[in-house]
Structure 1
Amino acid sequence: MRFCDECGSMMHTEGNRWACRSCENEEPRDSRAEAAMTTQDGQQDDGTPDVADATQDTTETMQEPCPVEDCDSDRASYEMLPKPGGSYEVRLFTCVECGHKWRES
């Protein structure tokens, strides 16, 4: 797999050239460099990574009214998580009274 030096998108092979479908950049193919690329079959599977439960031991709270109609709480714990594929984080709230979860809008 090769990525475009201009825009970072994945490039595709077209004959004897690598072509970027995003910015139309083209580069010549190099058979020696391609032979050194690791195929999916050659990659090691380390299994499923451990995922930490960010809702456990959360002690930081802030004043944030719960959106549930029957809940009068104005405190919520929160955590910052990276948005998949994005360059920013999203704040996730959990009501300290009813446990309702929502994200910052």
Structure 2
Amino acid sequence: MKFCDECGSMMKSGEGEDHWVCDSCGYEIGREDEDDEWTTESQVESEIVDVSDAEDKGLPQTTAHCPECGNDRAYWYMQQIRSADESETRFFVCTECEHKWREDDH
């Protein structure tokens, strides 16, 4: 997908598919070989969040009941684990035993 440098609209392949054309303003630009490379979900590496030293990372704390040890304080962070059109998931890490759970794991 290519966006117009002039107006920001989505561009389409022009005749012969050797250039991009903006339907909104008519701006044209040549296509490069890199433009044909597509990234699929399987090619994207997900980031692994190491929470073993959560206190040192400055994560915010909240009141949350740990299902493992019963402690009432936890660090929390948000992470996108589903597709982009769905909301993020909130994860908690117990301040005492470092047990990790999701907000919806009740």
Q: TM-score, normalised by structure 2?
A: 0.48
Higher helix share: 2
